[in-house]
Amino acid sequence: MKRKLSTYDLTLVGMFAALMAVGANITSWAPFLQIANVPLSMQPFFCILAGLLLGSRLGALSMIIYALIGIAGAPVFAQFNGGIGVIFSSTGGFIISYIFTAYAVGKILELSKEKKKFTFFTASFVGIILIYIIGTTYMWLALNVWINAPMSYGTAWAVMAWFIVKDAAFTILGALIAPRIYFAVTRATNKRIAA
């Protein structure tokens, strides 16, 4: 039976929902954070970190809260957009992918008997692969089915190539720092972050 959410849990969930909003718009505050005109969104980084630190249940919940806040109209999606229309745009699949990714990343860590660095790396890279498979496939479907801007599946992946390089680098960074945060908080509070 799942335990009830505590104030501590809700604080962590809210914090990661807020970090997703910041991560979506970081180049709006710091326009120099671009490579070849590709904005350095921090959303995949924070999504994977949520799964690693909060676990499958709370990590996914934080992504659901983030998505619902944006769907309700708050300007928390990229370029300070909000509303349900964003979900039906070509990038809407990435928002959806964050829920599944945080859950999967957290579950991998939870199922691991020993929390070794290798486990954090494995979970992180499963996460970034999931984000790109779901997000890019959704983008291709959106463009070809309801946006009426036909694009081949190969071209869709080629478009995402710049982002993959950036997100792979951030994934490595996240996998390196997550164990330090995880074990530091575990020692300091006598309880695991992940629920």
Euclidean distance between the first and the last CA atom of the chain, given in angstroms as a whole number? 12
Beta bridge partners of 34: 39
**CA 148, CA 36: separation in Å to the nearest integer?**
27
User: How would you write the pLDDT of the chain (195 residues) with one tens digit per residue?
Assistant: 567 889 989 999 999 999 999 999 887 766 666 655 556 689 999 999 999 999 999 999 999 999 999 999 999 998 899 999 999 999 999 999 999 999 999 999 999 988 899 999 999 999 999 999 999 999 999 999 999 999 999 999 998 988 898 899 999 999 999 999 998 887 776 655 554
pLDDT at 167: 92
Q: Which residue has the tokens 């890279």?
A: 125
pLDDT at 27: 73
Residue 101 burial by Cβ neighbours in a 10 Å radius (0-12, 13-18, 19+):
buried
Structure tokens at 156: 């869709």
- Residue 80, sorted as left (phi over 0), alpha (psi -120 to 50) or beta, turns out to be left
Q: Which residues of 179-188 are buried (b: 16+ CB within 10 A; e: fewer)?
A: beebeebeee
Please report the domains of the chain, with CATH numbers, ordered by start residue: 7-189 (1.10.1760.20)
pLDDT at 179: 94
**CA 83, CA 73: separation in Å to the nearest integer?**
4
Structure tokens at 149: 């801007």
pLDDT at 192: 55
